[in-house]
Amino acid sequence: MTSAQFDPTLERHFKGHRDTVTSVDFSCNMKQIATGSMDSCVMIWNMKPQMRAYRFDGHKDAVISVEFSPSGHLVASASRDKTVRLWVPSMKAESTVFRAHTATVRSINFSGDGQTLVTASDDKTIKLWTVHRQKFLFSLNQHINWVRCAKFSPDDRLIVSSSDDKTVKLWDKNSRECIHSFYEHAGYASHVDFHPSGTCIAAASTDNSVKVWDIRSHKMLQHYQVHSGVVNSLSFHPAGNFLITASGDSTVKILDLVEGKLLYTLHGHQGPVTCVAFSRTGEYFASGGSDEQVMVWKSNFDCSECGDTVRLQNKTTSSMKAPPASSVAHLPFRAHPSVLHSQTSEPSEPLTRQDSQTAAHTQSSSRSGSHSRATHSHTYRNHSTSSSSSHHQTQTQSLPQQAPHVQGQTQASDGGVPPDLASTLEHIIGQLDILTQTVSILEQRLTLTEDKLKECLENQMEIGLHLQRREEP
């Protein structure tokens, strides 16, 4: 069996946006991909080749961020036009809109239960909203410059945010207090996210680096300097063992967080790569760039045992506790516990020992369903040893993982819900989401009608008073 079988491969290639792709996200069932763009459109791409894409027009300026709800039946979009829209990802393109901020909305994120939204804006605030009726809850206001990104923790108790003020802040959602600030000294963090364990955060920085912090000890666990351009986006693998990054240097890189090293460099985009995201299971990941293209890759480098762990984590999220800070990472596909190392390899240094190279023809799909030219993308595997002179290891902190001993407990309760019943319940939840969205649209239209009626009555009263004054002697 050759190593090439475990290299990432380009599965699909979508082209339909008319400007830079700014954001990408997978639906929970992997049937759809949502993207936002500087062309002011949201597009929903169907993974089935025979199905056409949906283009959603509504925003009056660039769409900066998009995300599927946890159920996959809503898509939220944030725009430079200062609004947020909630879409039903179907051909009808129904949506509700609300003015969320007084400046560009940079980021939008659903809570794990799908009931709350958090938005980040150039007005220096972070705001929380209910998904139903889009009711404003509260603001977080300690940043002193544009807020680029805000995300919920996996348990929804914390919020992490990054700003042009060179800080990454950690907030307690219940007390609404900033509980810690991490400081960037060179650039600022343009994107930030929680590790699936909820005990670490990663930040993509304009100083070309990626940093991983422990939110309990507040120490930096890893520092990667593998890009030669600003890092625009990042995404954790759901199992927590890998991190993908997108950069202005036109590459997507895959980092092995357990070994603390660069694993792959992917060349496919013609220009800066602006966004990247893993699917909910980690089996796929997608990237978007200034070349207006969306590329969907099959991970492959992750073995089947890791996929089992992802499913395990999804089933046991509510009951599992984070391991203590001193614990060593337990890995489902390693025979021994590994220690997670920091890496600061020079970005200008050429990649050595590239022992495998795979080229894949990409499939191009547009709204009309036509195929454009096939392009070549290359995957480079990077092997590095801990003794390499180009790698300066500064930490030996462990990245918390979910322990494999939970597997027996989970498998014992795995047969609790029959597949048919689970499918029916999922369908009912989806219908309820659509019903909620429809009611919200009707409420919005009713409010507009009431406003118009009130205006008509006020005008009628003014006319009546005016006529009365004219008739008086």
**For residue 60, what are its two tokens?**
């009056």
CB 145 within 8 A of CB 164: yes
* Predicted local confidence at residue 189, as pLDDT: 95
CB 18 within 8 A of CB 63: no
Beta-bridge partners for 379: 266, 358
* Predicted local confidence at residue 462, as pLDDT: 84
Using DSSP's 3-state secondary structure scheme, residue 215 falls into coil
* Predicted local confidence at residue 227, as pLDDT: 96
DSSP 8-state class, residue 415? G
* Predicted local confidence at residue 360, as pLDDT: 37
Phi-psi region of 360 (alpha: psi -120 to 50; beta: other; left: phi over 0): beta
Place of tokens 């991190």: 243
CB 261 within 8 A of CB 343: yes
* Predicted local confidence at residue 452, as pLDDT: 80
Q: Which one, of 316, 315, 277, 313, lies nearest residue 295 by Cα?
A: 277
Using DSSP's 3-state secondary structure scheme, residue 201 falls into strand
Low-confidence ranges of the chain (pLDDT < 70): 1-5, 302-416, 440, 443, 473
Q: What is the pLDDT of residues 384-402, one digit of tens each?
A: 433 333 333 334 354 554 4
Q: What are the E-state strand segments in 27-115? A: 32-37, 41-46, 54-57, 63-68, 75-79, 83-87, 95-99, 105-110
Phi-psi region of 220 (alpha: psi -120 to 50; beta: other; left: phi over 0): beta
Determine the Cα–Cα distance for residues 128 and 63; give it in Å rounded to an integer: 19
* Predicted local confidence at residue 379, as pLDDT: 57
CATH topology classification for 9-298: Methylamine Dehydrogenase; Chain H (2.130.10)
Locate the domains of the chain by residue range: 9-298, 429-472
Task: Tally Cβ neighbours within 10 Å of residue 300.
Answer: 17
Place of tokens 């609004």: 83
| Cα→Cα distances 417→280, 290, 408, 409, 413, Å | 21, 45, 17, 15, 9
What does 179-191 look like in DSSP terms, one character per residue? EEEEE-SSS-EEE
